[in-house]
Amino acid sequence: MIDVKALLAGVDMFEMSLWLSGAMVVLIFLGMRVAFAAALTGFVGLALFFMQKQGFEKGLITAMKLVGQIPHSKSTTYALSLIPTFILIGYLAYHAGLTRYLFEAAKRWIGWLPGGLAVATVFATAGFAAVSGASVATSAVFARIAIPEMLREGYDRRFAAGVVAAGGTLASLIPPSAILVIYAIIVEQSVGKLLLAGFVPGAVSALIYAALITGLALFRKNLGPPVKGFSWADRFRALPGTTPILLVVFIIIYSVYFGWATPTEAGALGAFIVLLMAVWQGMRWKNLSSALMESAKLTAMIFTMIWGVLIYVRYLGFADLPDAFAAWVAGLHQPPLVTLFMILGAYVVLGMFMDAIGMLILTLPVTFPAVIALNGGPDVTAEASALGMSAEECAIWFGIIVVKMAELCLITPPIGLNCFVVAGVCQDSGMRMSVQDVFRGASPFFIADVVTVLVLIAFPGIVLWLPSLI
């Protein structure tokens, strides 16, 4: 019988982790789901690691026990309970028809601008993002509501689809954001502070989108003609319908800000209030069951991804890859911002081939320690750090930056999930719209996102101001 322990005795587990990480990327490119590719790679790595120390049988049993414990131990994390409640808020609001009131109000108040209906769509998606933690859900909702309206007003169809796909990405940044919660769990930072930190950058991102749309509409008159004919009375009549969503936003932000409730409690309270509003507006059991089922499906997908990737992350910890990468980055003889831009550039490339959540979960165990090391280490003060921030401030600031980078992958080919969702909804609704059309329409917003990232890097106070007040 082959002595596996002796066979693996001369194998460098750090080098093995690099080979296995490369194999995982290949599996993902071949079409395997991120969760399963990461779990398989992590299990093989853990098995080889323990076989090297304990032999074949004992090492395999140890690896199997460890892999079996991870889903339960991570599922019982209190902060994770926030994700399904935030997702449920968004689906309840949609199936109750509350999103249509939001879009109608934005149209009446902003539609008179060049490209005004598209700008209204961006602000309406930002408002919906404040009660929904899912970008895909936001894009799907407004593809049904906003695109037909824009096409009726003579908007360019590619542009209309691109606006909705890009506007949906705002749900990744504006709280309550499921992806920010996942980031906070992975890097062990305050969920409440990260959620508050995303509010102002999300608003800045929406304003930059609006400025881009207005500029394009001024340059090309037929791209997005203004919508006129609404009186002041019409505008004020549209406001009461937005009350439920604004109320939920107020409750979530202020309860977390003033410490009246934890983010999980605020999310549960917000879901309960939206449910009451939906029932009051005449929501039927069919719509309620659809909201519950879609929330369960999306939650299961996110949790499965977290489980699979955390198995891989546990293996990386044993192989010491994150610390080695952080030490290598810290030892580079170049300005910290240059290294940071290199890391962000890698995210642009990865975002073309991976979904946002999977990309962050896979990379953060390596990139986060590296950025903290660039700043001066986990215990550095703002006065002594290379980036002028304390370790906690750097973690929050990098979280917003990296989530904004993750938004790019939602609208970049060939895997831009929001673009696929918008195209699918359009085809189901009888509108002629290919995925390529949506990608072309969304391409100008890539530039807007790059501008937003540069603004957040140049002015970190935009990110850190609100959480610093807690």
Mean pLDDT of 210-221: 88
Average pLDDT, the chain: 80
Mean pLDDT of 107-121: 86
Share of the chain above pLDDT 90, in %: 7
Q: pLDDT confidence of 89, banded at 50, 70, 90?
A: confident
| 70 residue type, one letter | I
Q: How far apart are CA 363 and CA 351, in angstroms?
A: 11
Mean pLDDT of 158-184: 84
- For the chain, give every domain's residue range: 1-76, 80-302+434-468
Residues with Cβ within 8 Å of 407's Cβ and at least 6 positions away in sequence, in order, are 135, 169, 170, 172, 173, 356, 449
Q: What is the DSSP string of 303-349?
A: HHHHHHHHHHHHHHHHHTHHHHHHHHHHT-SS-HHHHHHHHHHHHHH
Cα–chain-centroid distance for residue 299?
A: 14
pTM for this model (two decimals): 0.78
Number of H helices, E strands in the chain: 23, 0
Q: How far apart are CA 466 and CA 464, in angstroms?
A: 6
Regarding predicted confidence, which is higher, 85 or 215? 215
pLDDT digits (tens, 9 = 90+) for 30-78: 777 767 887 888 888 888 877 777 777 787 788 888 888 877 776 666 6
